[in-house]
Structure 1
Amino acid sequence: MKIKTHSARDLGRLCLVSLAVLTLVSCGGGGGSAGTASGGNLSGGSSGGTSTGTGSGTSSGSTASNATVSTGQLGVAMVTSAGAETNSLSGGQTGTVKATFKSAAGAALSNAVVKFTASDSSLVDFTPASGSALTDANGVAVINVKPRDFSSAGALTITASASTGSVSGSATTNIAVGAAPLSVGALAFSPAPSGSLAAFSTATLSIPVTSNGQPVDKVSGLTVTSLCVGDGTATIVIGSLSNGIQSATYTNNGCLRGTDTITAAIGTSSKTITLPVSSANIGAIQFVGSNLTGTSMVLKGSGGLGRLEAAQLTYKVVDQNNNPLAGVDVNFRATTTTGGLTVQPVKGTTDASGVVRTTVSSGTIPTPVRVIAEASRNNLTLSGLSDALTITTGFPIQKNMSLSPDAYNFEGWGFDNEIAKVTVLLADQYGNPVSDGTTVNFVTEGGAIGSSAQGACNTTNGGCTVQLRSQDFRPANGRVTVLAYVQGLEDFVDANGDGQYSCTSFVGPDGVVPPVYRPLVDTCVSGGESFTDQGDPFLDTGVATWDPADVTSPSSLDGNYDVARGDQPFPYGHTAFTPNGDGKWGLNYIRRSIEMVFSGSNATLIRQVCNGTAVDNKSCRDWTSSDGNPMVLNGVAGASCSNQPLVFRLTDLHNNPLPAGTTVSSADGDKIGPLTIFPSVVPSINAIGGSYHQMVIKTDAGCASGGFTLKVKTPKGMETGFAFRSN
């Protein structure tokens, strides 16, 4: 390093030369002169003046005590490890900044504090971090400088300031900082795995990083990835950096590739390494669920209208840590194939979420079933079982359809908005309730049935209920027919027990004979099982005229279609009513009818003469005038009196039963009175002729004459009284 200096004597000579132009004061203690250094070396200012510039030193004028501060010689430069002067750094390089401090006379100044500063501290760091050092016996102070990181780039000025005793000085040097490329060395595992890396095991990866061939102590821009990481079946986590070796932890999360390729890269520098990996073992095959609402499917051929003949089953395959396993082949089989039950597909492969699906389709015979999912990996086989499913309930069949009200006779003749609840029950050929949501339609020729939304109901657990409401129109005889109808199967005899109608000679809807008979699809030409052919359903409004006094028939319905009296075929849209069937087994409108009574509220009592103990329309007849006064009870008073039976029937104005729930009781008894009345309440009936009641009239102890009143009270509170007296 060359150091150019100017002594105080030289400066004095320069000042004398200038006296020709300037006064002495300009060089004296009250003023100052500037000194200028050439290159990177220092020139000192005159005593009592100030000097600035690259490599300049300073001195001040006399103090109050007449002490002086002399200017020393200070030189600064950056050198390489070989001692060569340089003005640039890059990447991981470290430079040495050397400052030499001498007196004006050229003597080395030792033990002086030299402070180094950078004009841009974001580019470089000093070692030591304080940026200060002491001069040695040769007046030399040394400090190390290096770029703050490998991407740092720019230019800056390093300033050295020194002082000791009465001597001080400062100097600068300019350097350039350039970003240096980092290089990745050969990758290695430490320690190297023995064989394939098992699923959920880890391995430590060592990544050498250098700059200009030197190990780095800071790394930026490093990326480490692998094929399995891209698949989502492995992870790499960057660890610590030591002696230029960057560590990373590789975790095999069940990679399916067998061998993974790992790549570490910084910029354009990259290295790869391969690692054998093992896939994860199957931890479990979980049944997720099905697309069924509940667990039931209908019998084969009975689907539609919300009824499912097949169910899609979903399974999930997970490893021992409950993580989803993709790419696993799963086999499926059912615990039974009764009735032709099938599972398709019989093999599937899990997706990225570990999910796989299959479909189970019902057969023709009710049965419980589960579907087994089975898979193998790494010589380990596991299976999973679906929830229990039920193959049950087909179409409703005529023989298993039922229709009934909560009361056949309700007080609807004289009152509007009285309600009777009508319930329909449906089952298939096995007696299983039909699927929920089966729609049943209702019609009637009197009152109103159903709701404002629909004159129908949808089944739950094989049944549903509608309301029959009293209002006009009211048929003249007070009797109203309710017809319920629904698509279902005609009755047949399952002779071979296969759960469906069978046929030996058949043809498809396209005129081609299929390989197997398909009930409800193909037409049976011959060789079919026996069945009951049904014609069209119709609303039977009853006989045109009937004798109210005739109590031998329980109903006015005759079962014959007669359009003249208001009978109507259903469903609407028929061009003509067909009383007979079409000669083919299949779907039809199965139906049931009941006759309801809009009962009047005023009671009529008709006394009965009975033979035997039975009390009904077959063993009893109505009282006639030849039998005497019906309100007089013979034999309960006078000589040889005894308890006497009393039998009667109660009707409304149409010879129909009084409303269900009407009570029958006695009142105002005198000497004689009835024992228990049976029944004491009018039951739910629709028989022509009303209800039959009986009692025993108890005599007075002295056989005295007396009487009592029979009181009849309807649910609406309408009362009718009948006074009886003894002979």
Structure 2
Amino acid sequence: MHLIHSSGWAALARRAAHAAAVLTAAALVAACGGDSEPASEPPFGGSTPAGSGGGGNGSTKSNVVLTLKLTDAAGASTSTIATGQPVRAQAVLTRDGALVANEIVQFSVEQPVELVRIDPAAGSVLTASDGTAVVTVSSLGASTGAGTIKASAKVGDEAVTAGANFFASGSSTTSPASLALGPVQISSASVSAYGTTGIQVQVLREGQPYTSPVTVNFTSSCAAGKASVTSSATTKPNGVADGTFVDNGCAQTADATVTITASISTDSKSGSVLVRAPTTGSLRFLSVEPSDKSITLRGQGGNGRQENATVTFRLVDVAGQGVADTNVCFDVSTYIGGLNLDGYSPTTLPANRGSTALCGNDPLSQVRYVKRTNPDGTVSVQINSGTVPTPVRVRARSLYPATASVPLESFSDTLSISTGLPLQRSFSLSVDKANIDGGNFDGEVASLTVRLADQFSNPVPDGTVVNFIGSGAAVCTANNGSCKTTDGACSCNVVSQERRPADNRVVVTAYAVGMEDFDDLNGDNLYTPGVDGFSLTLQDLGDAYVDANKDGKYGDGSTTAPTNPTINGDTDIPIPYQKNDVITVKGDGVRGTAHIRASTVIYLSRASSAGDPTVVVPLRSLDRSYSLTGGAASQPFVRLKPICPKDTPMPQATIATLLDDGIGNPMAAGTTLAVVDASTNVAPAGFRPSSVLAVGARPPMPGIDLPNTEKPLKWTSSDANGNVPTAHSITVRGVEDKCAGNASFALEVKSPRGGSATARVLYEGEPKDTLRSAFAVRYLDQVAFEARALGAGNVTVMPEAWVGSAAGPSAATKVTIDWGDGSKTDGTIPSTPVAHHYASAGTKTIAVSVVAGGVTYSSSQSIDVP
């Protein structure tokens, strides 16, 4: 099967007419003039269309709304982000009240210092069928302060934004004042001398389990050194914290009641356990194998993981010598998912079960499995995992000496039956920045992170190996091409150097041994052929490969005997798995292990001073002057209204721009943008954002990357021609009492390792070799016309031109002259001046409007009529 990536890129590729919408997903603020006031910023949590600079556009738009809220682990609204307690930022996108799916929402953070991070790091998320897009926001723990989570989206030509304020703490917060502890649960009422038992307590909020992590501290009343107890534990999502108590001689001469206390900052609770004195011997927990106390789910062993564990206890007399040939009864704290002891479970009981006097008659006494101690007093039992992740303890009981009426009792440490092999659907690849200043410089670094989880979305075991192969640069140089997971994730670096592909786009594939996906239709957590779903087209994985030539298939696409052509210097790199030395493109038709994988493109962006930084302005952001007398349309420009007396709002227009490095790749993350060489009669604000942001991970896509050479073709709104720019906007304002004539300004860019350079300025659709280094600004009314007073109340008006969107339409269909005396002249475009007679002399205001493409453009001027 071809490479599958879990991000939204694959879905976009199936539905997008072209990659332009994908690659310029940030909301672009467009304007076609300067007649209107700037839109005010919406209140946080709401949304507004991105503003434009007016111009008499009378078209009707649909109502696109984006809302944003922050919620905690319980789903409650919050504005606090504490260390270790991440929150969810959830955006909801609607259009005319209907939920909008499969649109990009771009999340970002405005913060005075590094307070929080967003996951995924790229911040781009597709809306689901319910219109929602969600990212996780986590405190970095370094500083305390406030900031804003921002979200932006675009539906058609309408862009909207939303925001939510937050306060981030610089360290773990104390427990909320409303938290309380439930009763302290101790696994057994009594414990043998030198024995072990479990402790459990639940953190509650208003009587319900508190799902955010909380640290619970445990202490015991035993003298120092006479017992060990888990000092602290962090609660699980169900609010439960687990600990262990081990006696080290707390009851020397007589049985002793030991108090175990659990505490948080707002509450404490205690429980007690009877510790037996060693006057009759003791039953001690010795060990568990594997030593990390973790085994995998049934059916998912291998790759260094086993599905069973051996737990050993030892029965000793008062002198500490092993007691041989004595019955010990075993049960476990849970048999969920088919877990069993030496093959025995509540559904498969041993032939000779232990008595209730020995084994007890409490809820744990379900199997009552009895074994006899070895000559050294040891006895071992094997736990075989089930199909459900769970913690489990083994309880051992023995009546010693034979005349004893109360059995010795001890528990093992907690054994974790948790994660299995990672699944393809839970293999996630991200990058801190895919656009690095590596086109002209060696040693620039992009950090890749892989996250893996099993069938239950539990992190894979620490030490799981992930391999990386790239089509260029250097990958994982410090780790011999691989990394090992900790807490389900691991990272390695891509470092710029030769080889650099022709398009400066390196493909990196990460892969690991894992399991193919399946649909667990009967809900038993196991794959059953013929019962559960397994798609041969979507879930049956062929061998992985690095799609170096970016054509979307391995080699020539043959599934039987593929050849591997080189396209513009790039040849796919096979990663065989099903056979040792030959790649197998198709899956084997059987659900099992495979190389699970994901790929991303890393851009070795050209440096500012060594490349050709290019900024493209979409035509929808610009205007043209269209002649009404048969002349040609002008070149595009930014229009401002030609009037700005003192103490009046300055005319302004906001335009969208798209910046690349000159060969179709984004400039490197951290590249700065600045306005330079502005005319004295224009005041551009800074570009927003003022630096190039990090681009996230995406797999190679033929529609974007082919041909895998420099992208020489022009960018248009309907066809990006493989260009991958970053989006920036700028607001251009007039200068008081100087709003006349023409003006210009330029864009200066500076990449992290490059020098300052003036960007080439292209208008949408222009060839890349067009020579222009500045943005043109003109102060013009929407309609230009000449009005002449002829005397005796007679005037003539000659409409000459109108100013409208550079994207068209370029043909006017109707001209209307409002003479200001209650009369109008409607008609087609006049070829000669239109005459009118006023009944009285005086100052008259004449308005001329032009209709083009269903939009009305108008201007007026006053004339003295004698």
SS in 1 for 2:314: strand
In structure 2, the partner of 1:134 is none
Distance 1:350 1:647, change over 3 A: same
Q: Distance in 2 between matches of 1:637 and 1:290?
A: 84
SS in 1 for 2:382: strand
**1:474 aligned onto 2:500:** yes
Distance 1:627 1:365, change over 3 A: farther
1:509-563 Cα deviation digits (max 9, x unpaired): xxxxxxxxxxxxxxxxx555434212221211244xxxxxxxxxxxxx5345432
- Work out which of the residue numbers 634, 646, 649 in structure 1 matches 2:639: 634
In structure 1, the partner of 2:465 is 439
Q: Distance in 2 between matches of 1:414 and 1:604?
A: 13
Identity of matched residues, %: 34
Preserved CA contact (<8 Å) 2:576 2:582: no
Larger radius of gyration: 1
Q: 1:640-679 residue pairs with structure 2 within 5 A?
A: 642-667=651-676, 669=678, 670-679=680-689
In structure 1, the partner of 2:588 is 582
The amino acid across from 1:715 in the alignment is P
Q: Distance in 2 between matches of 1:328 and 1:699?
A: 96
In structure 1, the partner of 2:299 is 301
Q: Distance in 1 between matches of 2:555 and 2:526?
A: 32
Q: Distance in 2 between matches of 1:709 and 1:282?
A: 91
SS in 2 for 1:434: coil
**1:567 aligned onto 2:602:** no
Preserved CA contact (<8 Å) 1:282 1:380: no
Superposition deviation, residue 295 in structure 1: 3.1
Distance 1:621 1:715, change over 3 A: farther
Superposition deviation, residue 681 in structure 1: 2.0
Q: Distance in 2 between matches of 1:451 and 1:329?
A: 57
**1:362 aligned onto 2:360:** no
- Work out which of the residue numbers 592, 600, 603 in structure 2 matches 1:597: 603
Q: Distance in 2 between matches of 1:449 and 1:667?
A: 39
Preserved CA contact (<8 Å) 1:443 1:484: yes
The amino acid across from 1:530 in the alignment is F
In the alignment, structure 1 segments of 5+ residues that lack a partner are 1-279, 504-525, 544-556, 613-619
**1:397 aligned onto 2:423:** yes
Q: Distance in 1 between matches of 2:424 and 2:280?
A: 52
In structure 2, the partner of 1:711 is 748
Distance 1:674 1:352, change over 3 A: farther
Q: Distance in 1 between matches of 2:748 and 2:584?
A: 50
Superposition deviation, residue 306 in structure 1: 2.5
Distance 1:608 1:558, change over 3 A: farther
- Work out which of the residue numbers 692, 695, 700 in structure 1 matches 2:730: 695
**1:338 aligned onto 2:336:** yes
SS in 2 for 1:679: coil
Superposition deviation, residue 627 in structure 1: 8.0
Q: Distance in 1 between matches of 2:337 and 2:280?
A: 34
Preserved CA contact (<8 Å) 1:609 1:621: no
Distance 1:476 1:294, change over 3 A: same
In structure 2, the partner of 1:329 is 327
**1:558 aligned onto 2:555:** no
- Work out which of the residue numbers 693, 716, 727 in structure 2 matches 1:683: 693
Q: Distance in 2 between matches of 1:656 and 1:621?
A: 27
Q: Distance in 1 between matches of 2:668 and 2:549?
A: 20
Q: 1:433-582 residue pairs with structure 2 within 5 A?
A: 433-451=459-477, 454-503=480-529, 526=530, 529-531=533-535, 532-543=539-550, 558-559=552-553, 561-562=555-556, 563-565=564-566, 566-571=571-576, 576-582=582-588
The amino acid across from 1:698 in the alignment is R
1:594-630 Cα deviation digits (max 9, x unpaired): 1111111125233323549xxxxxxx999xxx98556
The amino acid across from 1:599 in the alignment is S
Superposition deviation, residue 485 in structure 1: 1.5
SS in 2 for 1:592: strand
Q: 1:367-382 residue pairs with structure 2 within 5 A?
A: 367-377=390-400, 378=403, 379-382=405-408
The amino acid across from 2:669 in the alignment is A
The amino acid across from 1:711 in the alignment is E
Query: Greater relative contact order: 1 or 2 (C-alpha under 8 angstroms, separation 6 or more)?
Result: 2
In the alignment, structure 2 segments of 5+ residues that lack a partner are 1-277, 344-368, 557-563, 625-631, 697-703, 705-722, 760-773, 779-866
The amino acid across from 1:369 in the alignment is V
1:146-202 Cα deviation digits (max 9, x unpaired): xxxxxxxxxxxxxxxxxxxxxxxxxxxxxxxxxxxxxxxxxxxxxxxxxxxxxxxxx
Q: Distance in 1 between matches of 2:387 and 2:527?
A: 10
Q: Distance in 2 between matches of 1:475 and 1:440?
A: 24
The amino acid across from 2:447 in the alignment is K
Preserved CA contact (<8 Å) 2:519 2:532: no
SS in 2 for 1:339: helix
Q: Distance in 1 between matches of 2:619 and 2:393?
A: 64
Superposition deviation, residue 708 in structure 1: 4.3
1:211-254 Cα deviation digits (max 9, x unpaired): xxxxxxxxxxxxxxxxxxxxxxxxxxxxxxxxxxxxxxxxxxxx
Preserved CA contact (<8 Å) 1:608 1:621: no
- Work out which of the residue numbers 414, 418, 439 in structure 2 matches 1:413: 439
Preserved CA contact (<8 Å) 2:614 2:662: no
Superposition deviation, residue 352 in structure 1: 5.5
Give the aligned length. 402
Q: Distance in 2 between matches of 1:319 and 1:482?
A: 63
Superposition deviation, residue 483 in structure 1: 0.8
Superposition deviation, residue 405 in structure 1: 1.2
Q: Distance in 1 between matches of 2:651 and 2:674?
A: 22
The amino acid across from 2:565 in the alignment is A
The amino acid across from 1:407 in the alignment is K
Superposition deviation, residue 399 in structure 1: 0.7
Preserved CA contact (<8 Å) 1:287 1:314: yes
Distance 1:717 1:604, change over 3 A: closer
Preserved CA contact (<8 Å) 2:673 2:690: yes
In structure 2, the partner of 1:136 is none
SS in 2 for 1:380: coil
Preserved CA contact (<8 Å) 2:644 2:736: no
In structure 1, the partner of 2:805 is none
Q: Distance in 2 between matches of 1:621 and 1:649?
A: 17
Q: Distance in 2 between matches of 1:289 and 1:528?
A: 39
SS in 2 for 1:336: coil
Superposition deviation, residue 320 in structure 1: 5.8
Q: Distance in 2 between matches of 1:359 and 1:281?
A: 30
Distance 1:319 1:668, change over 3 A: farther
Preserved CA contact (<8 Å) 1:412 1:600: yes
Preserved CA contact (<8 Å) 2:687 2:728: yes
Q: Distance in 1 between matches of 2:506 and 2:641?
A: 43
- Work out which of the residue numbers 393, 403, 412 in structure 2 matches 1:386: 412
Distance 1:694 1:318, change over 3 A: same
Preserved CA contact (<8 Å) 1:306 1:437: no
Superposition deviation, residue 676 in structure 1: 4.7
Superposition deviation, residue 349 in structure 1: 3.4
Q: Distance in 2 between matches of 1:421 and 1:309?
A: 34
In structure 2, the partner of 1:721 is 758
Q: Distance in 2 between matches of 1:637 and 1:358?
A: 90
SS in 2 for 1:634: strand
